[in-house]
Amino acid sequence: MLTKKQYELLVFINHRLNEAGVSPSFDEMKDALGLRSKSGIHRLITGLEERGFVRRLPHRARALEVLRVPSSLGKSEASAETTSNKSLAPNVIKADFKNSNHRAASAPAVELPIFGRIAAGTPIEALRDHTASVEVPIFLLDKGEHYALEVDGDSMVEAGIHDGDTAIIQRTDIAENGSIVVALVDNEEVTLKRLRRRGQSVALEPANAAYETRICGPDQVKVQGRLVGLMRKY
């Protein structure tokens, strides 16, 4: 699910790409959303990237690609909405969000197994609990098999992943550089971190300055899944 600000930014970027063929600058995004600093835009783009809505194109300035938009909003609709109100005033967002509870309740859902809380010291297969499951809206899922994990701790909080969140994981043993993955380390410890390959080394990066990046050898880390969605209770 997208936050209101993530949605506003996605609509704005999508419109600018359709209109000008180039993504807006960080300053333009900051002004459009009424934010005080560009750090907030960085966080919003990271959140959109992790949820599979946008992609940063490497080695190019102002290079963002919109991969998909929410099911309730086609690309043509997104362009029309932002054209009619480039300032992204609240009335534009209300049209999308005022019936969000109704749509969420009626959206198709599937039941996924909850493997447990993702915590150090436990191989992912040992977390399997056939008695626990959660209903997940189908739009959060990608292709293939999925499972759910309860997030334990705050090591990824700056990526918008909080203690107690339910992480939706696509089962896979491969992942692109920069993806947030479930990584099994030395066949005995499982963790949710951002994956970075650096030459012959593999870095598992937290999203919290209080934690250190862990550097491992290529044979120490096995990818067991890729984060594709998050669910949170308030």
CA 97/CA 113 separation, integer angstroms: 29
**91-139 confidence digits (pLDDT tens):** 333 334 344 444 445 557 788 888 777 754 444 554 555 567 888 888 8
Give residue 128's identity as a one-letter amino acid code.
Answer: R
Query: Hey, which residues are catalytic here?
Result: 155, 193
pLDDT tens-place string over residues 155-177: 888 888 888 889 999 999 998 99
Q: What is the mean pLDDT of residues 7-31?
A: 85
Give the structural domain span for 34.
4-103
Structural domain ending residue among the three candidates 66, 88, 103: 103
Looking at the structure, tell me whether residues 151 and 200 fall in a common domain: yes
Assess whether pLDDT exceeds 50 at residue 78. no
Domain boundary among the residues 103, 136, 155 is at 103
- Burial (CB < 10 A; 0-12, 13-18, 19+), residue 197, is middle
Q: Are 98 and 164 in contact (CB under 8 A)?
A: no
Contact 80, 45 (CB under 8 A): no
Which whole number is the average pLDDT over 20-48?
84
What is the Cα–Cα distance from 149 to 174, expressed in whole angstroms? 19
65 class by beta-carbon count within 10 Å (0-12 exposed, 13-18 middle, 19+ buried): exposed
**Residue partners of 46: CB distance under 8 A and separation at least 6:** 159, 160
Domain endpoint, select from 80, 103, 126? 103
**Does residue 124 share a domain with residue 96?**
no
Rounded Cα gap, residues 80 and 14, in angstroms: 10
Q: Stretch 132-151: mean pLDDT, rounded?
A: 85
Task: For residues 54 and 192, give the distance between their C-alpha atoms in angstroms, rounded to a whole number.
Answer: 21
pLDDT score for 119: 57
For the stretch 189-231, pLDDT in tens is: 888 999 999 888 999 999 888 888 999 998 999 999 999 988 8
Cα 192 from Cα 227, distance rounded (Å): 9
Q: What is the mean pLDDT of residues 38-46?
A: 83
Clarify whether residues 39 and 129 are in a common domain.
no
CATH of the domain at 141: 2.10.109.10
Q: Please check whether residues 96 and 113 belong to one and the same domain.
A: no
Overall domain count for the chain: 2
